[in-house]
Amino acid sequence: MRDELVRTALYDFHVSSGAKIVDFHGYELPIWYSSIQEEHLATRSSAGLFDVSHMGFFRFQGGEVRSWLSSVSTQEYMKFQPGRCGYTHFLDHDGRIIDDMIFAVSSESEVLGVPNSTMVGIMFQWLSDQLPSNGSVNIVDMSDNTSIIALQGPLSGNVISEVLGSDNVVGVFRCQEIEQNELGISGWIQGTGYTGEAGVEIFVSNEQAPILWDALNAHPSSTPVGLGARDTLRMEKGYLLSGQDFLWPGISTFCEGLPDGFLSRTTSETSVPFGLDLSHDFIGKDALIESMGKGARLWGMQCEERGPSPRPGHQIFSGPDDDSELVGYVTSGGPSPSLGMTGIALGYLENYEEGQDVWIQSSSRRRIKSQVRRTPFL
């Protein structure tokens, strides 16, 4: 645990741009520059520029690195050729999600991974504890020395081409080392993100980050975007947020506003349609298979009435009346800029199907009728 708030290499830019700075899990980061709605819509229509340097960055190396990673996570890395990215879950022996991670296979003997910001230390220790005893695989935590800049949106490819050159335009879930460019930027670029739009995440040294940021931000199609819009963008696509849509019981079973252990979830309960390959053995596989088809699953919910937006911890009921059954809780929620600020939510429900109605207790006096939906919302 850090004793002092951490500032990224781009902090001075955020301040000089008038951003609203908040404490985000120990980092001083922008929540917005102009407004969440404006930044959200700019990302959907053009290109949004994000400082996501609070995320972790691991390098896994060794001749057996892909087979080892397959043994400790839900994805089969042997099916990914160098230059490809993927998504995976790490489970404990009870099948509960510890963390999720985007990874990039950079070579036959090297994989790069991006753990969630709050999980860097925990994941580094957990993964280190699983390393082969013969020393064939090692992990390097490059988080503190790496800045991560995301450019997301339909025009992101045009921006990258004009700023870094066409050789650095990568496709969805493709990756490569940054090719020679006029800025002299070196590092890693991959076609991943957290918005559901085409885009890239770029990994550079802290020293080079301001140079790259300034060049990308100067492009007329780019808009700097804070954490607020990053959250609404990912919610519209139904993407999980570690610690909010799931929480490993090895850290805590308590989350304010929710029953004890409510966020302790398996991969099948999160309804993630990718990242799970049952063709190989991995930690937690037997428990995961045993849990499949049982219990609750994560659903989207879209409000059908005007009123206060759903928020994490809000109760979900089977009907509008006081004697209606409590059927779940919202884990993520808020207004959707792409849907005219209609309220949307994610939450775990048992024995529900798409198209059914539920009522979200969005204030002490108001329950909002909402329709159960599969994600993404758009």
* pLDDT above 70 (res 241): yes
pLDDT band at 313 (very low <50, low <70, confident <90, very high): very high
Which positions ≥6 away from 273 have C-beta within 8 Å? none
**What's the pTM?**
0.96
For 171, the token pair is 């496709």
Q: What secondary structure letter does DSSP report for 356?
A: -
What domains sit in the chain, N to C, each tagged with a CATH number? 6-54+144-225 (3.30.1360.120), 58-141 (3.30.70.1400), 294-373 (2.40.30.110)
Q: What is the pLDDT of residues 134-153, one digit of tens each?
A: 999 999 999 999 999 999 99
Question: What confidence category does residue 2 fall into, taking pLDDT thresholds of 50, 70 and 90?
Answer: low
CB 156 within 8 A of CB 43: no
For the segment 306-322, the average pLDDT, to the nearest whole number, is 96
Query: Residue 295's pLDDT band (boundaries 50, 70, 90)?
Result: confident
Q: Is 275 helix (H, G, I), strand (E, B) or coil?
A: coil
CA atoms within 13 A on the CB side of 305: 14
The yes-or-no verdict on residue 293 having pLDDT over 90 is no
As a whole-number percent, the residues of the chain with pLDDT over 70 amount to 99
List, as one string, the DSSP characters of 128-173: HHTS-TTS--EEEE-GGGEEEEEEESTTHHHHHHHHH-GGG---TT
Overall average pLDDT of the 227-248 stretch: 97
- In 10 A of CB 82, how many CB atoms? 15
The two structure tokens encoding residue 59: 């390098």
Confidence (pLDDT) at 92: 98
User: Nearest 5°: phi and psi at 211?
Assistant: -65, -45
pLDDT tens-digit map of 245-292: 999 999 998 888 899 999 999 999 999 878 999 999 999 999 999 999
Q: Which residue matches tokens 């990308």? A: 216
Phi and psi for 190 in degrees, rounded to 5?
A: -145, 150
83-134: pLDDT as tens digits = 999 999 999 999 999 999 999 999 999 999 999 999 999 999 999 999 999 9
- The pLDDT confidence band at residue 4, using thresholds 50, 70 and 90, is confident
Model pLDDT, residue 143:
98
What pLDDT digit, counting tens, does each position of 8-33 carry? 999 999 999 999 999 999 999 999 99
